[in-house]
Amino acid sequence: MHNDHKMEIFACRASKDFAARVIEKLNEGKLPGEGKARLGAFEVTQFSDGEFQPSFNESVRGAVVFVIQSTPPPTDNLMELLLTIDAAKRASADKVIAVMPYFGWARQDRKDKPRVSIGAKVVANMMKAAGADRVMTCDLHADQIQGFFDFPVDHIYASKVFIPFLRDLNIENLAIAAPDMGGAKRANAYAKELACPVIICHKSRERANVVASITAIGDVKGKNIVIVDDMIDTAGTLCKAADVLMEKGALSVRACATHGVLSGKAYENIANSSLSKVYVTDTIPLSTDPMKDTSKIQVVSMAETFAKIMNKVYNCEPISTEFIF
């Protein structure tokens, strides 16, 4: 079944490169004149006080509009997405689908201490208020964040690209590790697909972004270990876990993480750690600062997966075949 409304794709500033790769994947195999996908004409006017205004430079009346934008810090990225959704609705778009490869504020998914906000719920409310009809995102910090939205959420798993990628590496004596107890479910799903054992790292924190100690549960000795996680922020936990695993007799430690937030001293921490390789997706672009050491970091693209799911959602086709877990 095909959608009667035209498909229009726009990219906000934080995800222009990712959007270009998605367009490329949407057009692969299409013959000239077959109605090729393209990025719509869109601009953001910047005012001297830091305020900005997104605007569409072409009609979106009656269209199914996909707006591609990850929302890592700064908050301008979220604000730009919200204003763009609002602009599309006010320009009479039939539906507005927010494609958020990385959903910021996802770590604030509950009250973990008194008198704090639940940031993920606030963002979900703002998305609805702006006029979004649907959200497409990848590896939320907690699956239940989908329930914060009062409209459909297409929750894509990076395992769709990471599991075949790890399989192709043919790593001998492979074991999958979770960097903390919260990641046990994800690690178990990877280990089941790759038919290898699981190791769980148990950490205790002194405060946010500061880890006090880590212990490893499972058979580490003689294993080539891949730590899997949803994101790398400062890489403090990850590097400490890698060091502990090497001390316990691991042959090598790699890491697979969907979102390379990589804030603070993350690049430095990874470069100086016992990690041999770190694989991240392109949901957040890597730093282009030449002073940052990216030699251990390899990017695995999610563009093809997003392109397939966007196409299926637009054509009202089932997307269940695109999920590994």
Cβ–Cβ < 8 Å for 139, 103:
no
Place of tokens 């830091």: 50
Please work out, in degrees rounded to the nearest 5, the angle formed at the alpha carbon of residue 309 by the alpha carbons of 228 and 170: 35
How many other CB atoms sit within 10 Å of the CB of residue 4?
A: 8
| pLDDT value at 67 more than 70 | yes
Determine phi and psi for 248, rounding to 5 degrees.
-85, 5
Measured CA distances, 66 to 60, 77, 94, 96, 313 (Å): 11, 16, 11, 6, 11
In the predicted structure, residue 3 carries a pLDDT above the cut 80: no
Please tell me the least confidently modeled range out of 7-16, 181-190, 277-286.
Answer: 181-190
Q: Which residues lie across from 56 on neighbouring strands?
A: 42
Q: Please provide the average confidence, as pLDDT, over all residues in the chain.
A: 93
Q: Please tell me what DSSP assigns to residue 14.
A: G
Residue 210 is predicted with a pLDDT of 64
The percent of residues in the chain predicted with pLDDT above 90, rounded, is 86
Dist. CA 262–CA 294, nearest whole Å = 11
| Tens of pLDDT, residues 230-249 | 999 999 989 999 999 999 99
> Percent of the chain, pLDDT > 70?
96
What pLDDT, on the 0 to 100 scale, is given for residue 321? 80
- Say if residue 69's pLDDT is above 60: yes
pLDDT of residue 125 exceeding 80 = yes
Q: Which residue has the higher pLDDT, 93 or 202?
A: 93
Mean pLDDT in residue range 167-188: 94
223 carries an active-site annotation: no
Nearest to 66 by CA among 158, 154, 161: 154
Q: How far apart are CA 70 and CA 297, in angstroms?
A: 20
**Is the pLDDT at 127 greater than 60, yes or no?**
yes
Q: Is 45 a residue whose pLDDT tops 90?
A: yes
Taking the C-alpha atoms of residue 38 and residue 55, their distance in angstroms, rounded to an integer, is 17
Q: Is the pTM of this model over 0.95?
A: no
Per-residue pLDDT, 323: 72
Residue 205 near residue 249 (C-beta atoms within 8 A): no
pLDDT the model gives residue 232: 97
Residue 214 near residue 228 (C-beta atoms within 8 A): no
Active-site position among 25, 89, 160, 203: 203
Q: What is the mean pLDDT of residues 56-83?
A: 97
If one counts every other C-beta atom within 10 angstroms of the C-beta of residue 5, the result is: 15
